[in-house]
Chains A and B, each alone.
Chain A
Amino acid sequence: MRNDNDLQKELFDVPPVPMDAFSNIEHRIYNRSLKQKIVISLAASLLLVAGALTIVNINNQQVEQAALADEIIEELDFARSFINGDETYQDSDALALIVNGAGE
């Protein structure tokens, strides 16, 4: 090099760190963090709603299934009574219809 000092001088010749650099960095870091928090909160809320809906749906299904089960049990009881000759059921209109129908 013509003069090593010239090279050193040039290498050291750097403008000061821009004043607004850190505020930009903070903005990017903490603004992003805030956005992330909002997204996470939204996602959590959506999950909660979806979960609640699922529970309601399951509950409804359970109610429906219970009603259906009751109906089936009732039908089975009826069938059992009919086979056993239970009078309670023999007196019912429905049974009479079946018996009459079957008799014809």
Chain B
Amino acid sequence: MKELDSITLHRAIKGDRKAFKALYDHYSPFVWRIVFKMVSGDQILAQELLQETFVKLHSALNNFRGESGISTWIYRIAYNLAITAFNQRKRFTTLDETETVLAGNERTDSYDNSEFIKKVLAQLSADDRFLLVAREVDGMSYDEISEVTGQNEGALRTRLHRIKEQLRIQSEKLLAGRSLHA
């Protein structure tokens, strides 16, 4: 990810309000996407997490030593908050609900692939969704993701492979169901 220029970042660290706004404008779309996907599209919870991330960031900016990129640091705050929220609230679609959607899709022609993918993604843990979005959408390196999550790169690679495999199997199940009804 392209980082904010160092002058603006330095001014934000020193407490400059305009610079902090610039920092927010630069990183908020990424934070928003991560938290939104991690909480399965719960917009209210995602907004709470977005706000909490930047409030925490503001209070901790003085401690930023530049050992890793500021984006990694921001991601780590957002990731930890989302994982905590995930554990506390458990607002996620259950497997039963997903199966109902699959069954519904198989029976009718009103097959909505987007809805199906949404439900399949909802089956994943918040951690898995983070990995998928961070890697596939934001193009973060495994090294960066490792810094954010504290998990080693090898484990992350294996897990992403497993997630994709899981999505493929679900997709094939759907296709098989559709063929039977064709």
User: Contact residues of A with B, CB < 8 Å?
Assistant: 1-3, 6-15, 17-18, 21-22, 24-26, 28-30
Contact = CB atoms under 8 A, between A and B. Distances in A.
A40 to B, nearest CB: 16
A17 B29 contact: yes
Interface in B90-132: 113-114, 117-118, 121, 132
Contacts of B113: 2-3, 6
Interface of B: 17, 21, 24, 28-29, 32-33, 36-37, 43, 47, 50-51, 54-55, 58-59, 113-114, 117-118, 121, 132-133, 136-137, 164, 167-168, 171-172, 174-175
Given A15-B36, A15-B43, A28-B51, 20 more contacts: A1-B164, A1-B167, A3-B113, A6-B113, A7-B167, A8-B136, A10-B114, A11-B132, A11-B137, A14-B32, A14-B33, A17-B50, A21-B50, A22-B24, A25-B51, A25-B54, A25-B55, A25-B58, A26-B17, A29-B59
A28 B53 CA distance: 12
Contacts of A9: 114
Chain B CB within 10 A, most for which of A8, A14, A15: A14
